[in-house]
Each structure stands twice: as C-alpha cells, then as structure tokens.
C-alpha cells in the first residue's frame, strides 16, 4: 500500500497503527483472570507521567495494519478481544468493531474517554486522566470506571469521576504500579470506608505475563 493510501486507510479506520497483539489473561478490573486477545493501538497525547507503555504514544512508530489482518489474529485465539492503547479512540473504531461483531466476538475497550466515541462495545472500561478529561458520552457509556491512584489527591479525583458515570457502572481503584506498596494501605482503608469501590490490582504483573 502506498504511503498516501495508507494514511487515508488509517484516517478511515480501515487500517490501524498496531503496536502489538497478544493472547493472555486480563489482569485488571472487572474481567481480571479471563482469557482475551489484546490489541494495543499506537497513538496517545494524554501523556500520563506514570504510563508503563510510553512507547505506544507515537503512532508513526507502529505500522498501519489492515483490520482484516487484526481480526484474523483474534479469530485464531479467542472469542473476546480487548482494544487498548495508547488511546484507541484517537482513531475511527467502527470498521474494526463491525468486522469483529460479524465474527461473533465479544469486544471490550480500555480508554481514557478523551476522544469522541466510535465503535460498538460489549464492555466499556473508562480510565479518566486529570490532564485530558473524558467526553460526556464516555461517562454515559462506561460499564467500568478504573481510577489509577498515584497519590492521595487521586482519591478526590476518583470521586469526582464516579459522580459522572451511571449508577450501574462498576467502580475500581487501582494503585499505580511503582507506588503500590505505599498506596495499597491507603486504598484498603478507603474501600473499607467507601464500599461502593473495589480494589483492582495489576495481577498480570504479579503473574509475570503480558
């Protein structure tokens, strides 16, 4: 595919800057412990200082991959796919989710919600960031709110965000990995006093899997 055609395909969502794709256990949040095929899409300008996949930020480093190729990889491994990033909603997601839905695949997304909503999702995990807040439609769509806690002020921010999602949305507080030993006692006390929340751990890191 010529460069101009490739750029057009990405802008239309017919190709996506695929950083990596792999089959593993979901490590975080509501579906932790479940098998799923992960698609990590390159490109993100939210810029979390504690992000553990900063190499995903620059979309130009990741080759445009046709969605047919991506879907083929999913079909070989799992009937559940998790689309993550980077920030996947930087790109039009409808072509990808339409193709996955035709194959009867359950489609989950992990997103900051900072970009316009596209695609059709069976599970919508919203993880808001202070420096680029979610859109109103992302709050309304969220099935799961996953708040990363780096310091005590993040608990205040978490409550602000929880007030904006629906009543049925599942609420999780997750320690930022590098600060987990300091943050975990804080989270335990907080959830005991605020049982609408649950603690999420990055169990894949403890298990040493992707």
pLDDT digits (tens, 9 = 90+) for 42-55: 989 887 776 778 78
Q: pTM, whole model, 2 decimals? A: 0.92
Please say whether the beta carbons of 28 and 174 come within 8 A.
yes
Please say whether the beta carbons of 200 and 148 come within 8 A.
no
Q: Mean per-residue pLDDT for 82-97?
A: 96
The rounded mean pLDDT for the chain is 93
Domain ranges of the chain: 3-206
Q: How many angstroms separate the CA atoms of 77 and 99, rounded?
A: 16
Q: How many angstroms separate the CA atoms of 70 and 73, rounded?
A: 5
**CATH 3.20.20.70 matches 3-206:** yes
Cα angle value 61/1/42 (rounded, 5°): 25
Q: Is the peptide bond prior to 81 cis by the omega test (within 30 degrees of 0)?
A: no
Q: What digits encode the pLDDT tens for the residues 137-194?
A: 999 999 999 999 999 999 999 999 999 999 999 999 999 988 899 999 999 999 999 9
Percent of the chain with pLDDT over 70: 97
Coil, helix or strand at residue 32: coil
Closest of 150, 149, 169, 178 to residue 30, by C-alpha: 169
Please give the residue that has the higher pLDDT: either 3 or 33.
33
Can you name the residues that pair with 21 across neighbouring β-strands? Answer: 39
pLDDT for the residue numbered 109 = 98
User: Residue 5 above 90 pLDDT?
Assistant: no
Please give the residue that has the higher pLDDT: either 12 or 101.
101
């Amino acid at each position: 595919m010529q460069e101009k055609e490739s750029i057009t395909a990405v802008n239309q969502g017919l190709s996506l800057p695929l950083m990596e794709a792999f089959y593993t256990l979901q490590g975080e949040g509501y579906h932790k412990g479940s098998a799923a095929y992960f698609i990590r899409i390159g490109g993100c300008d939210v810029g979390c200082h504690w992000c553990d996949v900063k190499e995903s930020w620059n979309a130009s480093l990741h080759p445009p991959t046709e969605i047919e190729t991506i879907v083929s990889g999913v079909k070989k491994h799992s009937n559940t796919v998790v689309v993550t990033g980077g920030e996947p909603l930087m790109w039009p997601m409808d072509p990808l989710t339409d193709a996955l839905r035709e194959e009867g695949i359950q489609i989950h997304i992990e997103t900051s919600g900072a970009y316009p909503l596209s695609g059709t999702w069976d599970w919508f995990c919203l993880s808001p960031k202070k420096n680029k807040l979610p859109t109103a439609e992302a709050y309304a769509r969220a099935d799961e709110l996953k708040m990363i806690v780096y310091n005590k002020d993040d608990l205040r921010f978490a409550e602000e965000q929880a007030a904006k999602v629906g009543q049925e949305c599942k609420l999780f507080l997750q320690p930022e990995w590098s600060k987990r030993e300091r943050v975990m006692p804080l989270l335990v006390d907080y959830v005991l006093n605020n049982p609408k929340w649950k603690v999420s751990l990055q169990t894949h890191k403890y298990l040493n899997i992707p």
